Amino acid sequence: MAKNLYVGNLSYQVRDDELNALFSQYGKVTSARVIIDRETQRSKGFAFVEMADDAEAQAAIDALNGKENNGRVLTVNEAKPREPRPFGGRRDSRR
């Protein structure tokens, strides 16, 4: 079964293909997505990597969590399920 991993504290220069190559050392990567800010089109400094096998995903977590990459110490763990968002977009704080 596939496992989704959260990768935090990424260098802002890291792109999807580099992330894929980093995690591929530990097993088959189904997808690797650096999260990009919609307005600035720059990395937000975190990503999600989906790996095909739980054991391979755990090997990646064990090997990469707390390790330096591009001058930053990575945070790698199992991603939490996405929480539902309220409809209607942003709240207006002026009310």
pLDDT of residue 1: 73
In a domain, 85, yes or no: no
Number of separate domains in the chain? 1
The domain spanning residue 52 has which CATH number?
A: 3.30.70.330
pLDDT of residue 82: 78
Spans of the chain, pLDDT less than 70: 88-95
In a domain, 69, yes or no: yes
In a domain, 92, yes or no: no
Counting other chains too, the contacts that 57-66 makes at CB distance below 8 Å and 24 or more residues apart are 57/3, 57/5, 57/26, 57/27, 58/3, 59/26, 59/27, 60/5, 60/23, 60/25, 60/26, 60/27, 61/5, 63/25, 63/26, 64/7, 64/22, 64/23, 64/26
In a domain, 18, yes or no: yes
| Host domain of residue 25 | 3-78
In a domain, 88, yes or no: no
pLDDT of residue 86: 76
